[in-house]
Amino acid sequence: MFVAPLVLIVDDDFHTAQLFKMIVDRAGFESLTALDAQEAITLLNERRPDLVLLDLGLPGMNGLELITYIRAQEALAHTRILIVSAYTDMITRAKRSSADDYLVKPISNTQLIAKINALLGK
C-alpha cells in the first residue's frame, strides 16, 4: 500500500498556509498546517513529517530557530526542510542554516512541487 509523503506547512499567514496546503494536497501529498513554531513542534513530534515547508517570519520562535530545534532532535534530524519566505534579507542566514533548500516568495505552484519532489527523491 502506497503512503503519501507527509508535508508540514508552517506559515503564520492562515491564507498562505491554506494555499500551500491545497497545492501540496493536489500534488498527491498528505499535509498538515501550523501557524507558529509551537504548533509545528507539537505536530513534528506527533506525526514525524517527511518534509517541513517553512516560513522564516514566525511569531515567537522564528523559522531559523525552529530549524535548530528540528536538527537537534534525533528522531527529526533527517526531516527535509524547505524554506519558503518573502524575507530576502534572511536568505543569507537561511543558506547557512541546515535547511535543505529555499524558495523566495512569490513562487509558482510548479516551482514548489518541483522542489518538494527533488527533496523527497521523487
pLDDT digits (tens, 9 = 90+) for 35-78: 999 999 999 999 999 999 999 989 999 999 999 999 999 999 89
Q: In the structure, what pLDDT confidence band is assigned to residue 97 with cuts at 50, 70 and 90? A: confident
Whether the per-residue pLDDT at 1 is higher than 70: the answer is: no
Domain count, the chain: 1
Instruction: Let me know if residue 118 belongs to a domain.
Output: no
Whether residue 114 is contained in a domain is answered as no
Higher pLDDT pick, 17 / 89: 17
Say how many C-beta atoms besides its own lie within 10 A of residue 63's C-beta. Answer: 28
Looking up residue 98, the CATH number of its domain turns out to be: 3.40.50.2300
Residue 112 CA to its chain's centroid (Å):
11
Is the full-model pTM beyond 0.85?
yes
Of 61, 43, 60, the C-alpha closest to 7 is: 43
When pLDDT is averaged across residues 91-118 and rounded to a whole number, the result is 88
Residue 37 lies in a domain: yes
Helices assigned H by DSSP within the chain? 14-26, 37-47, 63-72, 91-96, 109-119
